[in-house]
Chain A
Amino acid sequence: MYDQKTFGFKQLYLKLVFEQMLQDIPINHDFELIYEFIKSFGTELTAVNIKPMDKSSLKCNNYWLLGIIPKLTSLKSLTLMLHESIYNNADFFKFLQKSFQYFEKNGGKLHNIGFNLA
């Protein structure tokens, strides 16, 4: 998942900043910042953890998955950290599936996908 030769402190820093941005979306709703970040530094994002967001704080419901995952074309490993309230949420998985379809269409190729069930 993290190659000792290719995954350096640059990749680590960008990964941590990106995950912080995702975590802050329910607070700041700033998708423009995330899109610009992916446009400029997306090639360095090879392994990312994604946590589902509180839908009630977002107007876009689970649509954010479609806005972000297809743009991360350098992604090789994705871990979804799911909690109990998501297990039976068919809507979340529907958007996730669609986002993977667009991801593939954009040239993305995942090597690893993890589901961490808390």
Chain B
Amino acid sequence: MAKVLGPNKNIQDLAGILDGNHGCLNSQVENTLQQEIFKINDVENFIQYYQALGLKIVNNDKELNDRLVKAVKSSRQKGYHGQECDENMPDPVDLSQQRLQASLKEFATLKVSKEELSGNPDDPQTDSEIEGPKTKYKYHCKEMKYKDSFKNASETEWKALCIKHYEFIAHQLTTNKNSKMSAADLAKQYDWDENNYLNCTRAKATERYDVLRNKVIAMRGQEETLALRQSTLA
């Protein structure tokens, strides 16, 4: 949206443009959209793909490999794919429980019971044609308390846990640049990443728009609508 319409525009603005022009996009937006689509067709590898998405550019094959492996793992963990084609893949609920319990069991003792759920024929998720007759479980946590060994754990022990379970902390604390970052600084950085890296802010959209505009000018010589239309048609 930001790439095509420009910064400070939202879905209402798009609706306004369409309503005001008999349901058609105006020439400028249409041209920009076309240019963006042409760019998608030009993407030939994953390096260009990440670049086109506006994500951090990878510098070498190793980084690219790590990122792709991480993407597949993350996608699998979130249950985005694989259910239909891999019958043996664990249920996303079980994966989520495993993930959370792995973090919790490091410092706490849990009493968790597992209840077997009977399938509901009206529920499309339990359709045996898609997923097979898989047993589903519901987990009930009855009690949670500190492990004896963690009741009076030192800051170093908690730090080791953070490093073990969170990659961004391990990365910060094991590099020479930021090895002395405090927990408060790491929390601030985590919040900043959550707020800015994963979401496209207006400032980021403006920055990307400027980059795009410069590329259009470099490619086409100018950015005027008429000239763009002619060059697009040509």
Give the B-binding residues of A (Cβ under 8 A). Answer: 1-4, 7-13, 15-17, 20-21, 24, 27-28, 30, 32-33, 36-37, 39-41, 47, 49, 79, 81, 83-84, 116, 118
Contact = CB atoms under 8 A, between A and B. Distances in A.
**Chain B CB within 10 A, most for which of A2, A9, A27, A47:** A9
Interface of B: 10-11, 78-79, 92-93, 96-97, 99-100, 103-104, 107-108, 139-146, 153, 155, 158-159, 161-162, 165-166, 169, 182-188, 190-191, 194-195, 199-201
A16 B166 contact: yes
A24 B100 contact: yes
A55 to B, nearest CB: 18
A10 B187 contact: no
Given A4-B182, A116-B195, A33 B139 contact: yes
A4 B195 CA distance: 21
Given A2-B188, A33-B141, A28 B96 contact: yes
B209 to A, nearest CB: 17
Contacts of B200: 118
**Chain A CB within 10 A, most for which of B153, B166, B200:** B166
Nearest to A2: B184
**Chain A CB within 10 A, most for which of B97, B99, B141, B145:** B141
Contact of A30 (B97, B162, B195, B201): B97
Given A27-B96, A28-B96, A40-B145, A84 B183 contact: no
A81 B192 CA distance: 11
A9 B143 contact: no
Contact of A20 (B99, B141, B155): B99
B184 A17 contact: no
B183 A33 contact: no
Contact of B199 (A4, A8, A12, A83): A83
A21 B182 contact: no
